[in-house]
Chain A
Amino acid sequence: MAALTTWESTLKERALAPTQASGRLYTAWLAGLGLVVAWGFVAYIYQWRNGLYATDMRDRISWGLYISAFVFFIGISHAGTLISAILRASNAGWRSPITRIAESITVVSLISGALFVIVDMGRPDRLYQFWLNGNWQSPLMWDMMAITIYLTASVVYLYVPMIPDLAMFRDNLEGRVSRFQMWLYQSLAIGWDNNETQRRSLAKSITVLMVLIIPIAVSVHTVVSWIFAMTLRVSWNSTIFGFFFVSGAIYSGVATLIIVLAVMRRIYHLEEYITPTHFKYLSYLLATMSLVMIYGNASEYITKGFKMTEEDRFAFEQLFAGDFASMYWFYFFGGLVLPALIVAFKPTRTIVGVVIASVFVDIAMFIERYFIVVAGLRVPTMPYEPSSYSPTWVEWSILASGFAGFMLLLTLFARFFPILAVWEMTEERTSDQTSQHDRELEPAP
C-alpha cells in the first residue's frame, strides 16, 4: 500500500508539472508558434481582401492545399478518439497513459481542419448560409453535420474522463497557478469529490460515449471521402474511397499520436508512464495500417488500370510517370513500405525508429491528400490543355499557420489541462495489485 501511495504521488506531481512549465526554450517555442500563426492571419487578411485570387487555385484546378490540409487534419483527428475508444472498449489496460493525449489531438486537429474549410471559401462572410439555406443533399453538408457531431462528441469525450483529474488539479494547484486558472478548474471539475454516485454517473457517461464515438469517427472520414467520391471526376469516382480515407486517417492518426507522445514524454518527463511498450503496440497498429493502405492502393489502381479508360490513362500517367510521379513514389515507398519495414525488424523497432517511421507516414499522407485533390482535378474533363497548380506564399503561409496552430493548441492544452489520465492509471494499478472492489467501478464495455 505504501508503494502505491508513493507511486501515486509521483504520478500526481508528474501530471501537475506541465502547468508550471517555463524556461527560455518553452517561451521561445510558444512565441515562435504564435508568430507563425500571426503570420498566417496576415496572409489570410491579404486573401480576404484580394479574394482567392491570392492563391493559385483556378477554374480547372479549383481546390488545392487548403482542402488537402482539411482532409489531412480530419484524418489525424482519428488518432485519438477512435484509438482511445477502441482500446477503452476492448478494456486494454495499457491505454490509460495515452488516451488523454490521443483525445486532445482529436479535438485540436478537428478545429484546425474545420478552419481550413472556411479558409477555402470564396465568401466566408456568408457562412451563415449553411444554416439558413442548408441543403442536406450535399456531401459538403453531410460533412458539416458529421464534423459538428464529431467535434461535439469528442469534446464531451475528452472532457468527461478528465473531470476527476480536473478535480485533482483543483485540489492541488491552489496558490501555484493564477486565480483565473483556479476558477477554470473549479468550474470544470463540477464539484467532483469522488463519491459513489459521481463515479457511477461518470462510468455510465463514458460507456455511452466510447461506444458511440467509434461509428461517428468512421462516418466522419467516410463522409469526407464522399466530397470527392460523389462527383463524376474519374480519379475520384470510386467505391473504395470511404474505406481508403478511413484507413488513411487511422494510419496518419496513429503516426501523429506516436510523434506527439514521444515529444511529450521527453519534455514532460513521462518516461515512467509512457513506456517503450506503448510505442511497440502503436507501431504494430501502424504497420498493420500500412499493409492495409498498400492493399487499398493495389485494389484501387489495378482495377482501374486494367480497364484503362482514356481519362484513367491520363490520371495514371501523371501519377506514376508524370508531374506527380515523385510524390506518388515517395508516398508509396517512403510512406507505406518503409514504415512497415522499420516496424518489421527488431533492431529498428525502437522509439527513435518508430518516430522516424511516423514522420515519414505523416509527410506521405499529406502528400497523398494533396495528389488526391490536385491530380484528381487536373484530369481534363473536356478537350482542353491540362492546367497547372503551384501554391502561392499565401497558401503556404496559411498552411504553416495551420500546423503551428495545431501545435500551439496542443502545447496550451498540455499547459492548462491534465495530459495524463491520473485516476484511470491509479485505478488500473490498484486493480492490478489489490482488490476487486475498484474493478467493478471501472467502465465496462
Chain B
Amino acid sequence: MSTCNAKKALAVLATLPLVLLLTVFVSPAAGASNIEVQAPDQVTVGESVTVTVTVTNAGEPVVGGEVALAFVGGVGGESGWVVVATATTDATGSASLEYLQRALDATRMRVEYFGPDGQENTEFNIVIVDGPQLHQSDAGADIPILGVWWLVVVLAVVWVLIGLAAWRLLSIPRSTRPAARLARFVPRLMVGFIIFTAVGMFVVILTKPESHANLDPGQEFDRTPRALVGQVYEYPGLTAGDLAQTSNELDGRQLYVQAGCASCHSVGGDVGAVGGSIVGEDAPRSVQSLIDEIREGPKGMPAFSEGTLTEAEIEKIFDYLQTLPANS
C-alpha cells in the first residue's frame, strides 16, 4: 500500500514540471503565435492566387503547423467562412496557400492556424477585380465536318429530284391536242405543293430555336418567365456584404418566398395570382391589416396560422412589400 502511494506521489511530482512548462509556454503565448500573411492586394477573378503564411512562435518558426485559408462567401441567403486551401508549414515556418479566385465578393479573408492551443485567425482584405466566366458546360462531341448543312444538302437533293419528277408532268397537258385547261391544274398544284413543303422544311431547319444555351453561358437568351415581364432582373442573390447587415426587408424577401407568397403573388408581387397585386396601390395599408388578411385568407387564399408565420415575420414581409415598386 505504502509503496503504491509513494509511486503515485512520485508520478504526480514528475508531471508537475511538465504541467508547469505547458502553462508557461502555451497559455500566455496562445494568441502570441505570430501569423504573417503575404497576399496580393488585388486579384482578378480566374487568377491563381498564392498567399504565403509564416507562422512563428516567440520568434521560433512553427514547423509542421496546419494552416488554412478561408473567405466569407454568400449564396442563397446564407453566408459563412469557406475554406479554399490548406497547407502545412515547412522548416522556416512558412507555407504557401494556393487557390483559384472564383468568387467576386470574397474580399474578407482570413488565415486559420490550428496550433496546439486551438484555432488562431488572422484576418485581412483583398480587392477583387471582375474576370471572365470560369465554368463552362460541354456536351457531345464537336466533329468538324458534321453539321446541319449535310442535312440541308441531302434534303435539297431529295426535294429537287421529287420536284423534277413532278415538273416533268407539266409538259403533259401542254402537248395534248385539244388543250385541256382543267388538266393543267393538277400538275401545277403538285409542283406548288412540293415547293411549299420543301421550303417549309428548310425554314424549320434554319430557324431552329436555341435549346442548348448552357453551352454558351452569358449569351442572349430568348426564354424567360412571363411572371418576370416588366422587370429587368439582375441576379441579386444575397452577397456576403448584404448578409452582414440584415434588415427587415431582406428577411422579408426570404420569408415572402419561403412562406409561399411568391407562389401566387409572383416574385415581384405585381402580376397577381390569387389575390392579385399586393404592391403599390394594392399594397396592404398597415401591418395589422396584412396580419388580418393572412390569418383569415380572404378570396380563396389559404389562411396561414401563427405556426406558419408569426406576427414578427409578417411585419418583415410588410416591410419588404413596401420596398417593391408598383407595376414593376
Instruction: State if A and B touch, Cβ cutoff 8 Å.
Output: yes
Residues of chain A touching chain B, judged by Cβ–Cβ distance below 8 Å, are: 130-131, 133-137, 141, 145, 148-149, 152-153, 156, 159-160, 163, 183, 186-193, 195, 197-198, 201-202, 204-206, 208-209, 212, 216
Alpha-carbon separation in the docked complex, A134 to B175 (Å): 42
**A201, B171: Cβ atoms closer than 8 Å:** yes
**A193, B176: Cβ atoms closer than 8 Å:** yes
Distance in Å: Cβ of A136 to nearest Cβ of chain B:
5
Given contacts A163-B172, A212-B158, contact A186 B183 (CB under 8 A): yes
**A192, B176: Cβ atoms closer than 8 Å:** yes
Given contacts A156-B190, A201-B172, contact A187 B182 (CB under 8 A): yes
Alpha-carbon separation in the docked complex, A298 to B145 (Å): 35
Total A-B residue contacts, Cβ distance less than 8 Å:
106
Total contacting residues, chain B, CB less than 8 A: 39
Alpha-carbon separation in the docked complex, A183 to B182 (Å): 9
Distance in Å: Cβ of A198 to nearest Cβ of chain B:
5
Distance in Å: Cβ of A146 to nearest Cβ of chain B:
10
**B176, A191: Cβ atoms closer than 8 Å:** yes
Given contacts A191-B179, A197-B171, contact A134 B204 (CB under 8 A): yes
Check B209 for interface membership: any CB of A closer than 8 A: yes
Check B126 for interface membership: any CB of A closer than 8 A: no
**B166, A156: Cβ atoms closer than 8 Å:** yes
**B169, A136: Cβ atoms closer than 8 Å:** no
Give chain A residues whose Cβ lies under 8 Å from the Cβ of B197.
Answer: 148, 152
In the A-B complex, the 8 residue pairs with the smallest Cβ-Cβ separation, listed nearest first, are A191-B176, A191-B180, A134-B204, A191-B183, A205-B168, A191-B173, A190-B183, A197-B175
Residue interface bits B151-167, CB-to-A below 8 A is 1, else 0: 10001001101101110
Beyond the given A187-B185, A192-B176, please list 4 additional residue pairs across the A-B interface where CB-CB is below 8 A.
Answer: A135-B211, A136-B204, A156-B190, A201-B172
**Interface CB pairs A-B, < 8 A, 8:** A130-B204, A134-B208, A136-B151, A145-B155, A149-B155, A156-B190, A191-B173, A212-B161
Distance in Å: Cβ of A251 to nearest Cβ of chain B:
25
Alpha-carbon separation in the docked complex, A208 to B169 (Å): 12
Give chain B residues whose Cβ lies under 8 Å from the Cβ of A160.
Answer: 165, 169
Alpha-carbon separation in the docked complex, A201 to B172 (Å): 7
Alpha-carbon separation in the docked complex, A152 to B168 (Å): 16
Within 8 A of A (CB), among B177-204: 177-180, 182-187, 190, 193-194, 197, 200-201, 204
The one of A136, A202, A206 that contacts B208, using a Cβ cutoff of 8 Å: A136
**B173, A190: Cβ atoms closer than 8 Å:** yes
Query: Which residue of A159, A191, A204 has the most chain B CB atoms within 10 A of its CB atom?
Result: A191
Residues of chain B touching chain A, judged by Cβ–Cβ distance below 8 Å, are: 148, 151, 155, 158-159, 161-162, 164-166, 168-169, 171-173, 175-180, 182-187, 190, 193-194, 197, 200-201, 204-205, 207-209, 211
Give chain B residues whose Cβ lies under 8 Å from the Cβ of A136.
Answer: 148, 151, 204-205, 208
Alpha-carbon separation in the docked complex, A134 to B197 (Å): 14
Alpha-carbon separation in the docked complex, A201 to B187 (Å): 13
Alpha-carbon separation in the docked complex, A400 to B208 (Å): 37
Distance in Å: Cβ of B317 to nearest Cβ of chain A:
37
Alpha-carbon separation in the docked complex, A201 to B176 (Å): 13
Given contacts A152-B162, A186-B183, A201-B168, contact A135 B209 (CB under 8 A): yes
Give chain A residues whose Cβ lies under 8 Å from the Cβ of B204.
Answer: 130-131, 134, 136, 141
**B175, A195: Cβ atoms closer than 8 Å:** yes
**A148, B201: Cβ atoms closer than 8 Å:** yes
Distance in Å: Cβ of B167 to nearest Cβ of chain A:
8
Give chain A residues whose Cβ lies under 8 Å from the Cβ of B186.
Answer: 187-188, 190
Given contacts A187-B182, A195-B175, contact A208 B164 (CB under 8 A): yes
Alpha-carbon separation in the docked complex, A149 to B148 (Å): 18
Residue of B nearest to A136 (CB): B205
Alpha-carbon separation in the docked complex, A118 to B197 (Å): 19
Alpha-carbon separation in the docked complex, A140 to B168 (Å): 32
Distance in Å: Cβ of B230 to nearest Cβ of chain A:
24
Alpha-carbon separation in the docked complex, A201 to B169 (Å): 7
